[in-house]
Structure 1
Amino acid sequence: MNLNEREMSSLFQAVFPKLEDDRQIALLVDLPDDKEEDNSPWALRRKIAYEWFLLLQEIKSELQIDHVDLIVYRNVKSNNADLPCEMYIWNKETPSTFPNEELPQSTSIEDVFGKYQIFLVLSEYSATAPMKIAAKKYHFRAATMSGFSSDMLPALRIDYELVNKRLLQLKELLDAAHTLCLTFSVDDKSFSMKFDLRSTTAHVSGGRFPTAGMVGNLPSGETYIVPNETPQSQSEGVLPVQFDDEVVLYEIKHNKVVNVISSGRFSEIEREHLQKEPAYGNIAELGFGILRDFGISPIGEVLLDEKLGFHIAFGRSDHFGGLVGPQHFSSPQQVVHIDYVYIPETQPRVSVDKMELVFAEKSQTIMNHNEYSLWEKP
């Protein structure tokens, strides 16, 4: 069941506290090119977006908003690739595939970003990176919701005041630390990684966007940091990631994957991918999701699952303040920022046995066996 008027009003006012210049809201939706490219979750997400569009129109006076639009665009085939130059205002029924005839009213992406102050982006392919970059220039606010489904609605109803408090505590620790040390176990073997946190600061994604220029995921619930990406980075070790039943072992030096030292079908796929796209091997993000402590379960969509526990992302980082952007990839279609989540449901053979932050004069363990040791569960 979708949100009702009361729930939508409460959620919207919590996520986007009213600013003086707020006048117009846009819901952005990407469309498949044809029926063969479509899938059931994508179609359901477009239905949710259309229902939210109608719902926001009903409560816009309560939100002190003048206008709400639903805007569609041709999908970009890859997570966090740049968005297309043209978009289309949609006022019909639930959008289906990209219309090749009788296109609705078109508008440039620059006009879209300049016109609306608040965006909800319910897309198949993540638009977080391009929206973050654009928000710095156009000063809008946006919640990006790639992969959103009705299964995520419970995560919109938790105590985000407590969530934010814990995320801020994590940020304070990460900002003060110079190294993150991890010990992984894979079956009966142990692997170690250390990440260089020097000259970087953490960011909180707590489901609230109170100031212009802020963009983040919804549902939210993570603190994240880009490790040192310079050639002098001291990030190194062996990083395990499980694909189906196989665990791929990446050798990391200077914050980049330099080799795949495991064997198997997925190891070979990853090895070939890294040879073709070295930028994919950049360690772009260390994420500390906490929603598993609030009783939220994974559903197989990264948008939610990454907020449940620790995760590591490969690829693009410039939207988080890092150094690797689209120009480092071979083509716009190859641009990627992909998260690997370390919780038992997603990587049952891999455990984060110990997570330790190292400071100038001390160290502190913040996770044991996939469980945070900083606080009690709510």
Structure 2
Amino acid sequence: MISKLTDDIIFNPEKRNFPTFSLQRLLGQVFEPTEGCSVCILIDLEDMSLIKDFGFAKAEGHEVQKNAYKHFYLGLREGVMDALGMKGGEMFAYKPTYGSNLDLQDECWDTEGKQLSLDKDVYPNYDIILCISTWSATAPLTAKCKEFGFRGATLHGLNDVILNSGLAVDYNEVSADAEKIRLAMNKADSIEIDFTLEDGRVLTAWLGLDGQEAQKSHGLCKGTQPDVANLPAGEIYYVPTDARGQFPMKYEDGTLGVLDVENRNIIRSTLIEGNQATIDEHNQRLKDDPMTGTLGELGFGTQVLPVSGQDIQDEKVLGTCHLATGRDDHLGGDIVPTMFKKHENSTHDDILFAPHKTPNFDISEVRMNRGDLQEIIIQHFKPSDFVLRAARV
């Protein structure tokens, strides 16, 4: 699809016209074949009484869960399951994890209010599991799919923008675009990222990749092999083997800091502007459990999508990149939950660099080193000519 888009639309994705969201098209493309597959939906809820008779659908808030009910649960039962030859369609709720990619508790509840077990009553009994939640569950469900043999998709933070753009696209085209860019960036030795701050300072982060195979999150779980797609999809990523240098960090409260990295680990944060207490809290966390500062992912978006306000889609936008700290076992990495001091620390937390997310600094340039060659990948949050040529082959 990128090959069919003008540069104006690529650099201004809000101008792109998307087809109407179709659950049948999405599930048919992502999970082919679907004939004979049993499917269910997982959501997270703080108040488990609200799963009974879909009480959350009438309660205040719960926008993600309401989207799961309206567009997926009802969609499955109003013709999509029949059209795709699927069965089941049940919904279950589990307790929120309150952290990205933390393991799920085993207890869950059905829509009659009955308490069940994910391990005993859900994972073994469904071929396809759709997890539409507040917090990402990609890592724990990737581990569970290998144990129980199901396929699935995680769609955390689901909102109307995502439904009408990132989930409305043709996923065969998403996969093809991601593969073209993956091949262009495959077997990189290292990546260098220059960040220009408002005061003119330039910070550089270097990430060692050791010529590894680039991987792709492309949204397809075709066939019968256990796998979990993260939707919306559309990125290529690496598991860093080393990292050093500096990069800026914008915290949730708006505080800006500079992070120093040595031997793949964030070792300290220094205040640029904002709340010193936020910086102190992060430094204490790094001191208490150094694994929380280990870099476990470097990713690049490969799709032309509008900003949704949710990182799950916004990190897939062409011209953005992201780092992640914490567990990376679901990406083929070596950082597993047992390596953290306590369970609640074993998250996988994305740090997205994008104009809407980090307007206080610019990604002035991203460079890929491979053998004796160096290629520019991103300049000022825009894909380089090298990337666009690859995408248009």
Scaled by the length of structure 1, the TM-score of the pair is 0.86
Alpha-carbon displacement from aligned partner over 1:275-300 (angstroms, at most 9, x marks no partner): 22311101111111133xx2x22232
**Partner of residue 46, structure 2:** 32
8 Å contact kept, 2:107–2:115: no
Establish whether residue 253 from structure 1 lines up as the match of residue 262 from structure 2: yes
**Partner of residue 45, structure 1:** 64
**Partner of residue 15, structure 2:** none
One-letter identity of the residue aligned with 2:302: I
8 Å contact kept, 1:241–1:350: no
**Partner of residue 220, structure 1:** 233
**Partner of residue 195, structure 1:** 207
- Aligned counterparts of 1:7 and 1:253: Cα–Cα separation in 2: 46
- Aligned counterparts of 1:76 and 1:217: Cα–Cα separation in 2: 17
- Aligned counterparts of 1:110 and 1:325: Cα–Cα separation in 2: 24
Distance 1:6 1:80, change over 3 A: closer
Match of 1:18 among 33, 41, 55: 33
Does the residue aligned with 1:304 lie in a helix, a strand or coil?
helix
Alpha-carbon displacement from aligned partner over 1:298-328 (angstroms, at most 9, x marks no partner): 2321211221221111111111111112112
**Partner of residue 7, structure 1:** 22
- Aligned counterparts of 2:32 and 2:22: Cα–Cα separation in 1: 15
Shift of 1:330: 2.4
Establish whether residue 54 from structure 1 lines up as the match of residue 74 from structure 2: yes
**Partner of residue 98, structure 1:** none
Establish whether residue 89 from structure 1 lines up as the match of residue 110 from structure 2: yes
Alpha-carbon displacement from aligned partner over 1:103-147 (angstroms, at most 9, x marks no partner): 415234244211111111111111110011112222211110111
The alignment covers a number of residue pairs equal to 352
- Aligned counterparts of 1:48 and 1:161: Cα–Cα separation in 2: 24
Distance 1:271 1:42, change over 3 A: farther
8 Å contact kept, 2:34–2:84: no
8 Å contact kept, 2:21–2:167: no
**Partner of residue 11, structure 2:** none
Alpha-carbon displacement from aligned partner over 1:80-100 (angstroms, at most 9, x marks no partner): 111112222225xxxxxxxxx
8 Å contact kept, 1:135–1:141: yes
**Partner of residue 7, structure 2:** none
**Partner of residue 100, structure 2:** 79
Deviates more, 1:184-193 or 1:109-118: 109-118
Deviates more, 1:184-193 or 1:106-115: 106-115
Alpha-carbon displacement from aligned partner over 1:38-57 (angstroms, at most 9, x marks no partner): 9x996122122222212212
- Aligned counterparts of 2:264 and 2:185: Cα–Cα separation in 1: 17
Structure 1: which 4+ aligned runs deviate by more than 6 Å?
A: none
Distance 1:306 1:225, change over 3 A: same
Establish whether residue 141 from structure 1 lines up as the match of residue 161 from structure 2: no
Does the residue aligned with 2:105 lie in a helix, a strand or coil?
coil
8 Å contact kept, 2:329–2:336: yes
Q: Unaligned 5+ residue runs, structure 2?
A: 1-18, 50-55
Establish whether residue 241 from structure 1 lines up as the match of residue 249 from structure 2: yes
- Greater fraction helix: 2
- Aligned counterparts of 2:21 and 2:328: Cα–Cα separation in 1: 37
Does the residue aligned with 2:99 lie in a helix, a strand or coil?
coil
Scaled by the length of structure 2, the TM-score of the pair is 0.83
- Aligned counterparts of 1:347 and 1:326: Cα–Cα separation in 2: 29
Deviates more, 1:201-210 or 1:247-256: 201-210
**Partner of residue 8, structure 2:** none
One-letter identity of the residue aligned with 2:43: V
- Aligned counterparts of 1:207 and 1:41: Cα–Cα separation in 2: 32
**Partner of residue 297, structure 1:** 306
Q: Unaligned 5+ residue runs, structure 1?
A: 92-102
- Aligned counterparts of 1:55 and 1:108: Cα–Cα separation in 2: 23
- Aligned counterparts of 2:155 and 2:235: Cα–Cα separation in 1: 15
Establish whether residue 375 from structure 1 lines up as the match of residue 385 from structure 2: no
Alpha-carbon displacement from aligned partner over 1:189-226 (angstroms, at most 9, x marks no partner): 10111101016432211222213222121111111111
- Aligned counterparts of 1:6 and 1:368: Cα–Cα separation in 2: 32
One-letter identity of the residue aligned with 1:28: L
8 Å contact kept, 2:94–2:109: yes
Shift of 1:155: 1.6
Distance 1:69 1:362, change over 3 A: same
Shift of 1:31: 0.7
Shift of 1:167: 1.4
